[in-house]
Structure 1
Amino acid sequence: MVDFPALETSRLTLREIVELDAENIFRIHGDAEYMRWFGSDPIPDLDGAAKLVATFASWRKGPVSGARWAVELRDQPGLIGTCGLFRWNRNWRSCVVGYEIAPAHQGRGYVKEALKAIITWGFREMQLNRIEAQVHPDNTASLALLEALGFLQEGRQREAGYWAGRHHDLLQYALLKAQWSTANAV
């Protein structure tokens, strides 16, 4: 991917994450309570957020690449969350989806709207056949979101994740291109 794929929905702009987003990234990723489901420890400071921005940018250049979008409201610029397709296995035509949104913006359907856009883009532009997600079993909101998008649970990965000083089971979900209906496409 040479040019970053900017996407738009009726309420959102999905764009490249840039250094100016580090403060908003820190507000989300520095919140220990909110990050309990994310799969990594909270970022300790603004420098850590800047490093995360650089990590997201590096995904476009690596051999197992992907893309992470800044999610912002169309009428109010400023990152409110991120979503991405990463660990892209070109030979298998598969990748993993990840997402988070600031607590103040939860419950408004923004993540679902953003995911519809990137999933559609992934199936069309990346030629994906399979998109996977791993979610903590107690993250009921994320599980409901994935199921609403058509992801199916495939099993439990015992102690597959490690954060907050302990191992965590994760539920494996996946969505196949054949299951993605045109009604979901944006």
Structure 2
Amino acid sequence: MTVETVDPAPAFPSLTTPRLRLRELTPDDTPEVFEIHSDAEGMRWFGSDLLTRSEQALGLIETFAAWRKMPNPGTRWGIERKENGHLIGTCGLFKWNRAWRSCTIGYELARSAWGVGYMREALVAMLQWGFDNMALNRVEALIHPENQRSRRTVARLGFAFEGRMREAGFWNGETQDLELHALLMRDWPPGRLG
């Protein structure tokens, strides 16, 4: 049996939730992306060094856009509040292995938007799109062991802890252990996400 998958490159898939709009990042988002990615506390566990110049934020936006043209493509959404159009973070599916029906997720949120369920809301929409359009069976998240917020977020979405990867990451001049968490399609019953 052949599984049909959608090529993510032709048209950017905008998504909506009750409070959020997930949309393509543009150069106009450079100030907000810089603000998020230059916040030392907010980006403590993100997995890359802090941005120090706004040009780096524009480069990051261009990198996310280029993901869609890679051999193992990805899609990175800007997360904005519907009420005011303010960009509060990003989330994405990347390292898509079509043959293995798997990919990895990544995300970050401005500290001013923490604690009210925005990321969970965005990830539900993004994961549903991935399962529906990419024929995914497995989605992985690599999370720093001390990142309690992120660990709780993925656990609430049905991700299972699968193990610790020693010194798998490197940022802020140090090697970092990461935990592997994974979600299987069979563990994704949208009805349980209340």
- TM-score of the two chains, using structure 2 as the length reference: 0.94
> Shift in Å at residue 33 of structure 1?
2.1
Number of residue-to-residue matches in the alignment:
186
CA contact (8 A) 1:83 1:99 kept: yes
**Which of these residues, 147, 150, 171, is aligned with residue 155 of structure 2?**
147
Does residue 115 (structure 1) correspond to residue 123 (structure 2)? The answer is yes
Q: Which residue of structure 1 aligns with residue 139 of structure 2?
A: 131
Runs of 4+ in 1 over 4 A off after TM superposition: none
Partner secondary structure for residue 179 of structure 2: strand
Q: Which residue of structure 2 aligns with residue 104 of structure 1?
A: 112
Distance (Å, rounded) in 1 between the aligned partners of 2:192 and 2:15: 15
Does residue 12 (structure 1) correspond to residue 20 (structure 2)? The answer is yes
Q: Which residue of structure 1 aligns with residue 3 of structure 2?
A: none
Structure 2: segments with no counterpart, 5+ residues: 1-8
Partner secondary structure for residue 51 of structure 1: helix
Residues 125-158 of structure 1 show CA distances to partners (whole Å, capped at 9, x for unaligned) of 0111100000000000100111000000000000
**Which of these residues, 46, 50, 62, is aligned with residue 38 of structure 1?**
46
C-alpha change, 1:90 and 1:185, in structure 2 (3 Å) is farther
> Shift in Å at residue 44 of structure 1?
1.3
Distance (Å, rounded) in 2 between the aligned partners of 1:26 and 1:11: 23
- TM-score of the two chains, using structure 1 as the length reference: 0.97
> Shift in Å at residue 81 of structure 1?
0.4
Q: Which residue of structure 2 aligns with residue 26 of structure 1?
A: 34
CA contact (8 A) 2:157 2:193 kept: no
Distance (Å, rounded) in 1 between the aligned partners of 2:61 and 2:192: 29
Distance (Å, rounded) in 2 between the aligned partners of 1:35 and 1:76: 24
Q: Which residue of structure 2 aligns with residue 84 of structure 1?
A: 92
Distance (Å, rounded) in 1 between the aligned partners of 2:157 and 2:122: 11
Distance (Å, rounded) in 1 between the aligned partners of 2:53 and 2:129: 33
Identity %: 50
CA contact (8 A) 2:140 2:183 kept: yes
Structure 1: segments with no counterpart, 5+ residues: none
Distance (Å, rounded) in 2 between the aligned partners of 1:136 and 1:81: 19
Partner secondary structure for residue 52 of structure 2: coil
**Which of these residues, 68, 75, 78, is aligned with residue 83 of structure 2?**
75
Partner secondary structure for residue 44 of structure 2: helix
- After superposition, the CA RMSD in angstroms is 1.2
Partner secondary structure for residue 157 of structure 1: strand
Amino acid aligned to 2:80: E
Partner secondary structure for residue 42 of structure 1: coil
Partner secondary structure for residue 121 of structure 2: helix
